[in-house]
Amino acid sequence: MKKKIQRAASFLAIIILVVFAYFIYDTFRSLSIEEKIAEIIHFEDQRLHSDRLNDYLNETEPEIRRRAALAIGRIGGKNSGEKLYAAILEDASSDVARQAAFAIGLTGQKHYASKLLDIAFELPGKVAVEAVLAAGRLADSTMTELHLEIVPYLKHPSPEVREAACMSVYNARAIALVPDLFDLFNTEPDEEVKIMALYSLARLKVSQALPLYKRYLADADPFVRGIAVRGLDNVKTDEATHLLSIAANDSDPGVKAQAITALGNKNSEEAQRQLLRKLTRADRPQIVVAILNALRAQDNDGAIAETYDIIRTFGSDYVSSAAVKYLAEFQKDRAVNLIDSLMATDSPRLKAACAESYQLIGQSTVAPRLSKLFMDASAMVRTAAFEALISSDSSNRDYYISQALADSDYVVTASAVGQIEKHKLKNYLPQLVKLIMASKKPHVDIRRSIVSLAETFLKDNKNDSLAMKLLLNAAIDPEYIVRQDAARIYKEVIGENRDNIIRQTFTIISESELESRLEKYRTNPYATIKTNRGDIEIELYFDVAPLTVLNFIELAEDGFYDELQFHRVVPNFVAQGGDPRGDGWGGPRYYIRCEYSSEKYRRGTLGVATSGKDSGGSQFFITLSPQPHLEARYTVFGQVIAGMEFVDDIVVGDIIETIEIEENLY
């Protein structure tokens, strides 16, 4: 017996020795590049700015330093700006300095805007580009003295820096620099710089730039013509209306639809006449819907007969939804029979449009019909009916809100919270406190809606005890994004720094799995989105947004996207899909981190749809034209490499049949 005990003790000692030896080896061995990058990405996923992450800025390998700088910017935190600014000045690698310059623009630490502009002239060209862009992103419209510091960069020797300065004028909302942008068109030799100046003028809604918008309306590039159309939309003259009428015949469908939408904001006889003419000739669903919406915006009732014909001719839910709302707007109760007939549809989207149409009729007599839709099996329909009932039957508002708060669907309940916030119905606060403090937490989107409501009430009265209870509960919420919202409200409304509540968050993927994926995807993977329009082939940017790409791949391989619809399409802007609900509220019941980068939003770029920082999930969008204002604000994670013609044809309701993932597409 004694010998057995001795043997067991010896065996246990050996095991302890082996484990200890492995611990010593694992602690002090040299990590591979993949292991180091995996750890950096894991810190990013945790939103953890640690000393170890800072140490990676001193690594021998530039790629590690570059990746650490990006992570520090994405995470942010108290000392993030200091570390990144030092990297810009001191790192021997221009790639690392460039990444640090970009990353500092993500930190929100505004005092670095001026520091960046102080040093940018001394930086290499590519680093200077990111420094000037970062300064514009950090600035705001109140920082008028800093705006003047941008001016020298409009005359920088590098055209890329001058282009960045033009974009920074827009990002900083530096209206005082508009004359400097005008001057560029007389002195600037580089056409790309002029186009970015035009983009900033249009985005800043500068109506005095009419001659420039007119000049570029004939440009060969549809992107540039689209900028000109945006600018003309904000010019209130007959000439602008006439130019938009010309643009509404553009050869590019996106520019054409954009011009039609802009014409809807003009109430002249020419604008109304042009839209009525175009409706009779339109054959693309996107153009028909754009015209119907523009006619409503114009208060133009001249297309009633044609709209009935359109419903019979096209027969699609997408077109019928726009058509029935147009008819309800102008025919009022004479459209009831049509709406009643369309209510028999199985399409939740069309039924929701019927609810909105009853609301447009604007009479309490439609309340029984809306009440029926309020009991529909589809949450999308119930939400639309609820919003319509609140508007058309306000005398029973409390009843409808009470019903919506008790609804089984979180979107309906969140809509009720939104109405309580909108109308500042203080009497509901005790009920919301009880809801948020229940042992079984409501859906995270309800909790986020309640945090937004608390902010509204606290802006009116910082001492509102019930609103403070809602905020206090948000501060200890298990979901990172709710705590993030709460910390912002403490800072901006209460005047207290509670950033400590944004503690380390849970991660979706382990560090070891990240390491294996880094080894697997040494070259970027590809995806084929198979739609009812055709196949869209995409390169996935694993090297830029690994967490986003891995999430997308996992969802695709699990069949999550199969048979989902594109639920949002904005001509000349984006086509958006990936929502299992189809109403813009859905996702995989978890959030992924935003992975902002210096990648450009070109035509055909794949981005993550969010409702705030770190609120992405499954929804994605594909840009239909370049969108510079989205850069560093939405995660870029891929680019269409074939099938863009099918993206152009997508309308609301089109289907993602499946998404196939390939390590090497060709």
Q: What is the DSSP letter of 505?
A: P
Q: Mind listing the pLDDT tens digit for each residue in 408-442?
A: 999 999 999 999 999 999 999 999 999 999 888 99
541 inside domain: yes
Distance CA(652)–CA(648), nearest Å, equals: 12
Instruction: Give strand pairing partners of 655.
Output: 565
Contacts of 59 (CB under 8 A, 6+ apart): 36, 65, 68
Tokens of 429: 């606060």
pLDDT band at residue 10 under the 50/70/90 scheme: low
Q: Mind listing the pLDDT tens digit for each residue in 180-213?
A: 999 999 999 999 999 999 999 999 999 999 999 9
Contacts of 11 (CB under 8 A, 6+ apart): none
What does the chain come to in residues?
Answer: 666
Q: Mind listing the pLDDT tens digit for each residue in 24-48?
A: 544 455 789 999 999 999 999 999 8
Distance CA(192)–CA(211), nearest Å, equals: 18
Angle, helices 410-423 vs 444-460, to 10°: value is 0
pLDDT band at residue 502 under the 50/70/90 scheme: confident
63 inside domain: no
Give SS3 for 27.
helix
Query: Residue 240: is its pLDDT beyond 60?
Result: yes
Query: What is the residue range of 538's domain?
Result: 511-662
Phi, psi at 251, each rounded to 5° = -70, -20
The predicted pLDDT at position 16 comes to 64
The predicted pLDDT at position 19 comes to 45
Give how far Cα 262 sits from Cα of 236, 259, 297, Å: 11, 5, 10
Phi, psi at 496, each rounded to 5° = -120, 140
Q: Mind listing the pLDDT tens digit for each residue in 111-167?
A: 999 999 999 999 999 999 999 999 999 999 999 999 999 999 999 999 999 999 999
The predicted pLDDT at position 24 comes to 53
Contact predicate 304/330, CB 8 Å: yes
Host H or E run for residue 48: none
| CATH number of the CATH domain containing 531 | 2.40.100.10
The predicted pLDDT at position 14 comes to 65
366 inside domain: no
CA 95 to chain centre: 28
Structure-model confidence comparison of residues 211 and 343, the more confident one:
211
The predicted pLDDT at position 2 comes to 62
Half-sphere exposure of 647 (CA within 13 A, CB side): 28
When pLDDT is averaged across residues 585-597 and rounded to a whole number, the result is: 95
Instruction: Using the 3D structure, point to which of 242, 266, 300 is the last residue of a domain.
Output: 300
Contact predicate 560/580, CB 8 Å: yes
When pLDDT is averaged across residues 316-343 and rounded to a whole number, the result is: 96
Query: Residue 267: is its pLDDT beyond 50?
Result: yes
% the chain with pLDDT above 70: 95
Contact predicate 423/429, CB 8 Å: no
pLDDT band at residue 505 under the 50/70/90 scheme: confident
Instruction: Using the 3D structure, point to which of 280, 300, 320 is the last residue of a domain.
Output: 300
Distance CA(46)–CA(554), nearest Å, equals: 19
531 inside domain: yes
Burial class of 476 by CB neighbour count within 10 A (0 to 12, 13 to 18, 19+): exposed
Host H or E run for residue 576: strand 574-577
24 inside domain: yes
State the DSSP string of 343-375.
Answer: TT-S-HHHHHHHHHHHHHHT-GGGHHHHHHHTT
184 inside domain: no
Query: Do the bridges between strand 564-570 and strand 574-577 make them parallel or antiparallel, or are there none, so unpaired?
Result: antiparallel
Q: Considering all CA atoms of the chain, what is the largest pairwise distance in Å, rounded to the nearest integer?
A: 107
Q: How many domains are contained in the chain?
A: 3
Q: Mind listing the pLDDT tens digit for each residue in 443-473?
A: 999 999 999 999 999 999 999 999 999 999 9
| CATH number of the CATH domain containing 285 | 1.25.10.10
Distance CA(552)–CA(546), nearest Å, equals: 10
138 inside domain: no
Q: Mind listing the pLDDT tens digit for each residue in 536-552?
A: 999 999 999 999 999 99
When pLDDT is averaged across residues 533-538 and rounded to a whole number, the result is: 98
Terminal CA-CA length for the chain: 68
Host H or E run for residue 96: helix 94-104
373 inside domain: no
Whole-prediction pTM? 0.93
Q: Mind listing the pLDDT tens digit for each residue in 269-285?
A: 999 999 999 999 999 99
- Of 612, 508, 356, give the one whose Cα is nearest residue 42: 508
Contacts of 393 (CB under 8 A, 6+ apart): 364, 367, 370, 400
Query: Residue 22: is its pLDDT beyond 50?
Result: no
Distance CA(86)–CA(554), nearest Å, equals: 38
Instruction: Using the 3D structure, point to which of 300, 332, 355 is the last residue of a domain.
Output: 300
Please give the single-letter amino acid code of residue 639: Q
Phi, psi at 61, each rounded to 5° = -80, 120
The predicted pLDDT at position 78 comes to 83
The predicted pLDDT at position 12 comes to 63
Structure-model confidence comparison of residues 49 and 23, the more confident one:
49
- Of 608, 318, 2, 589, give the one whose Cα is nearest residue 310: 318
Position of tokens 């109304």? 272
% the chain with pLDDT above 90: 89
Distance CA(83)–CA(69), nearest Å, equals: 8
